[in-house]
Chains A and B, each alone.
Chain A
Amino acid sequence: MADTAGSSQITVKKGPKFRETRKGQVRKHIINVLVRNEIGVLARIATLIAGKGYNIESLSVGETHEKGVSRMTIEVIGDDIVIDQVVKQLRKLIDTLKVRDITDVPHVERELVLVKVHTPTARARDEVLRIVEIFRGKIVDVSPETYTVEVTGDEDKINAILELLKPFGIKEMARTGKVAMRRELFVDENLQD
Chain B
Amino acid sequence: MPRKGADIVIETLKEEGVEVIFGLPGGAIMEVYDALYRDGTIKHILVRHEQGAGHMAEGYAKATGKVGVAMTTSGPGATNIVTAIADAYMDSVPIVVITGQVPTHLIGNDAFQEVDIVGITRPITKHNFLVRSIEELPLIIRQAFYIARTGRPGPVLIDLPKDITQQLSDVSIPSEEEVRASLPGYRPHVEGNIQQIKRAVDLIMSAKKPVLYVGGGAVNAEAQEELIELAELMRIPVTTTTQGKGAFPETHPLSLRMLGMHGTYYANMAVYNCDLLIAVGARFDDRVTGKVDEFAPEAKIIHIDIDPASISKNIIVDVPIVGDVKIVLRKILEEIKKRGAKILHPEDRERWLEQIEKWKKLHPLTYRNSSKVIKPQYVIEQIYEVTKGDAIIVPGVGQHQMWAAMFYKFSYPRQFLNSGGLGTMGFGLPAGIGAKVGRPDKEVFVIDGDGSFVMTMQEIITAVQYKIPVKVAIINNAYLGMVRQWQEFFYDKRYSEVDLSVQPDFVKLAESMGAVGFRAEKPKEVREVLEEAMKIDDRPVVLDFVVDKEENVLPMVPPGKSYRDMILEDGKGTSEAETMYLVG
Contact = CB atoms under 8 A, between A and B. Distances in A.
Interface of A: 1-10, 12-14, 16-22, 35-36, 39-40, 43-44, 47-48, 51, 81, 84-85, 88-89, 91-97
A1 B294 contact: no
A40 B121 CA distance: 12
29 contacts: A1-B358, A1-B578, A2-B582, A3-B355, A3-B583, A4-B584, A5-B351, A7-B351, A9-B345, A10-B209, A10-B351, A12-B580, A13-B298, A17-B298, A18-B293, A20-B293, A20-B316, A21-B292, A21-B316, A36-B185, A39-B130, A43-B119, A44-B122, A51-B123, A81-B312, A88-B308, A91-B309, A93-B185, A97-B184
B297 to A, nearest CB: 4
Interface in B118-170: 118-119, 122-123, 126-127, 130, 132, 147
B199 to A, nearest CB: 19
Nearest to A97: B185
Interface string B288-318: 0000111111100000000111011101100
B581 interface: yes
Contacts of B208: 9-10
Interface in B525-584: 562, 564, 577-578, 580-584
Given A10-B581, A40-B118, A94-B183, 9 more contacts: A1-B362, A1-B582, A2-B577, A3-B358, A9-B348, A12-B581, A21-B316, A88-B311, A91-B308
A45 to B, nearest CB: 11
A21 B189 CA distance: 27
B582 A12 contact: yes
List 6 A-B pairs, minimum CB-CB distance, nearest first.
A6-B583, A17-B297, A88-B309, A19-B297, A94-B127, A97-B185
Contact of A89 (B147, B295, B309, B362): B309
Given A2-B577, A43-B119, A97-B185, A16 B583 contact: no
A29 B118 CA distance: 29
B313 A85 contact: yes
B347 interface: yes
B186 interface: yes
Interface string B268-302: 00000000000000000000000011111110000
Contacts of B362: 1
A19 B185 contact: no
Contacts of B564: 16
Interface string B331-373: 0000000000000010110010011001000100000000000
B184 A36 contact: yes
A3 B581 contact: yes
Contacts of B130: 39-40
A91 to B, nearest CB: 7
A39 B132 contact: yes
B336 to A, nearest CB: 22
B577 A92 contact: no
Contacts of A14: 580
Contacts of B348: 7, 9-10
Nearest to A92: B309
A8 B185 contact: no
Contacts of B580: 12, 14
Nearest to A93: B185
Contact of A19 (B127, B147, B292, B308): B292
Nearest to A13: B298
B294 A7 contact: no
A38 to B, nearest CB: 9
B277 to A, nearest CB: 10
A94 B581 contact: no
A72 B126 CA distance: 21
Nearest to B130: A39
Nearest to A82: B313
Contacts of B345: 9
B438 to A, nearest CB: 27
Nearest to A1: B578
A108 to B, nearest CB: 25
A92 B311 CA distance: 13
B147 A94 contact: yes
A33 to B, nearest CB: 10
Contact of B347 (A7, A13, A17, A48): A7
Contacts of A96: 185
Contacts of A88: 308-309, 311
A40 B122 contact: yes
A30 B309 CA distance: 19
A1 to B, nearest CB: 5
Residue of B126, B311, B313 ringed by the most chain A CB atoms within 10 A: B313
Nearest to A95: B185
Contacts of A81: 312
A172 to B, nearest CB: 32
B315 A7 contact: no
A18 B347 contact: no
A160 B347 CA distance: 69
Given A17-B297, A18-B293, A88-B308, A6 B313 contact: no
Nearest to A91: B308
A20 B294 CA distance: 9
Residue of B122, B311, B348, B562 ringed by the most chain A CB atoms within 10 A: B122
Contacts of B309: 85, 88-89, 91-92
A85 B316 CA distance: 12
Nearest to A14: B580
Nearest to A6: B583
A1 B293 CA distance: 23
